[in-house]
Amino acid sequence: MDLTVAITGASGTIYGYRTLKLLIESGKVETINLIMSGVVPTVAQVELGVNLKNADRAAINKWLGLEPSSKIIRFWRLDNFAARPSSGSYKQAGMIIVPCSMGTVGAIASGAGTNLIHRAADVTLKEGRKLVIVPRETPLSTIHLENLLRLSNAGARILPAAPGFYHRPQSVEDLVDHLCYRILDQFDLPHSKKTQWTGEEAGEDEDG
């Protein structure tokens, strides 16, 4: 399976990081076309203490704990409109934008894209492939909600960065992974089932 993953400048870079790690660990994804917006290095530095300025594929591989020669990640510049994800003739399963800023949501919803993330998302929609958008903003204005509704009506799956608590998370990592597992579920990719709801904790009636 080939997928495109975009990380934008919304707060929550860790969601993008863990999604990439889990996609790699799934053993089902052969190629990840990675695109990052220009604000990501700043947010990653603030939130994770990671330096992604002037990053290339080798730097991304190091960030993800991959061998320098690993080719599972294809890192595309934001201004590269000749990149594979910009064309509908490039066959892939879909695209994930995690986290997704409201600016990116608005650009995709309006069809007035100005970078590779916008173009790749537009291509994903027009080709009828799965587009998973993970918005990270609060509160949401009427404009935000209308743009998200427009994308939902166009076929995108809106998966807000709103993890559950029924699995009794013990750390921030537990909360992050819960959400990222839900992202993988959209593509039927294997992952840990430790956060999956079973109903047993709710006091199942054994007598039916």
- The pTM assigned to this predicted structure is 0.93
**Where exactly are the structural domains of the chain?**
2-195
**pLDDT value, residue 193:** 78
List, for residues 25-71, the tens digit of each pLDDT value.
999 999 999 999 999 999 999 999 999 998 999 999 999 999 998 99
Cβ–Cβ contacts within 10 Å for residue 137, how many? Answer: 19
Predicted confidence band at 197 (pLDDT cuts at 50, 70, 90)? confident
154 has a pLDDT exceeding 70: yes
Mean pLDDT lowest for which of 103-107, 117-121, 197-201? Answer: 197-201
Predicted confidence band at 124 (pLDDT cuts at 50, 70, 90)? very high
- 177 Cβ contact list (under 8 Å, min separation 6): 18, 22, 192, 195
Amino acid identity at 84: R
> What does CATH list as the number for 2-195?
3.40.50.1950
Across 151-180, average pLDDT:
94
